[in-house]
Amino acid sequence: MKIYFKPLTYITIFAFALFACSSDDSVSDGGNGDDDDVGVTELHAAFAAFNSDAVTAILSDDGTEVYIETTGFPNHTSIYWETDNALYIDEPGVTKTTQDTYIGGGQGEAASFTVDATPDLTGATVTTQLNTIGIAVSGASIFNDQEGMGDLDQAAGSLDWAGAHKGPGVYHYHLEPTPITSDDDSLVGILLDGVFIYGRQCSSTGTNPTDLDASGGHTSTTQYTDGAEEYHYHIINEVYPAGNYAYAPAYVLFAGPFQGY
């Protein structure tokens, strides 16, 4: 999916917006049609870090694509579980988006998409959309720093200790998900452009990297690349003024743009 903001493409943008609003459970990589990809022979080692109760990742026969599906159920506690669920916790500082919403309710949490096994790092960038932009290792969806058509600050009071909430759509993270990472180098998940995202520190140096591009990306070794250098994102180590978020300080998980399409 490439979005060019020229007058002649308003129809395309409108159609894309309809798609983004109408489908939370099936997200494609935009069909960029790059059939000349060179295949890999095995699934990236980082997939071993995903919650296998929720996430399934399958490498295509030709090794060029990875099909990923998830139940969307995170393997950690939240106020957004039903009160009789073992993972339910009360979070007095959190005002739920609506009282009757819970993980597994509404349209459910499932999501699936296909990514390039080798991200297309040609320098082109793509804006993130208001929907699932990736899957976290917990199994739940990753969203960007926008809520509806407005700023996230408006909804920050509804975010749980994981920096996530559930509206009419799927349960999703907007902020550094502390059950997964808290200023460390843990793998956070994979985004729709096939690029992995890590916590605020990089395993290559053991520090908060200072050479990140606008997306929080850089190229170095990670704990899953067996000494090889690979482009990946980090949660940018910059405090985000997230309105009345109960667990400040907040760090935006990923604001884009995608670098791997």
Q: Which is nearer to Zn ion, 59 or 253 (CB)?
A: 253
To Zn ion, the closest distance from the beta carbon of 185 in angstroms equals 8
CB-based closest residue to Zn ion = 202
Q: Does 202 bind Zn ion (CB under 5 A)?
A: yes
User: Binding marks (x or -) toward Zn ion, 125..164, rule CB under 5 A?
Assistant: ----------------------x-----------------
For 156, phi then psi, to 5°, come to -60, -30
To Zn ion, the closest distance from the beta carbon of 201 in angstroms equals 8
Report the amino acid identity of residue 12: T
Q: Of 17-25, 44-52, 213-221, 243-251, which part binds Zn ion (CB under 5 A)?
A: 213-221
C-alpha to C-alpha distance for 242 and 156, rounded to whole angstroms: 6
Longest dimension (CA), the chain: 52
To Zn ion, the closest distance from the beta carbon of 232 in angstroms equals 6
The residue count for binding Zn ion (CB under 5 A) is: 3
Q: Does 55 bind Zn ion (CB under 5 A)?
A: no
Q: Which of 79, 83, 102 is nearest to 92 (CA)?
A: 79
Looking up tokens 């720093």, which residue turns up? 145
Q: Of 7-15, 36-44, 113-121, 195-203, which part binds Zn ion (CB under 5 A)?
A: 195-203
List of residues 6+ apart from 101 with CB closer than 8 A = 80, 166, 167, 168
Q: Of 37-45, 57-65, 87-95, 202-210, which part binds Zn ion (CB under 5 A)?
A: 202-210
Footprint of Zn ion on residues 217-236 (CB under 5 A)? 220
Token pair in block for residue 108: 């459910």
Q: Strands, DSSP E only, in 128-170?
A: 134-136, 141-142, 146-147, 150-151, 164-166
C-alpha to C-alpha distance for 134 and 90, rounded to whole angstroms: 27
Q: Does 115 bind Zn ion (CB under 5 A)?
A: no
CA 208 to chain centre: 20
Residues in contact with Zn ion by CB under 5 A are 147, 202, 220
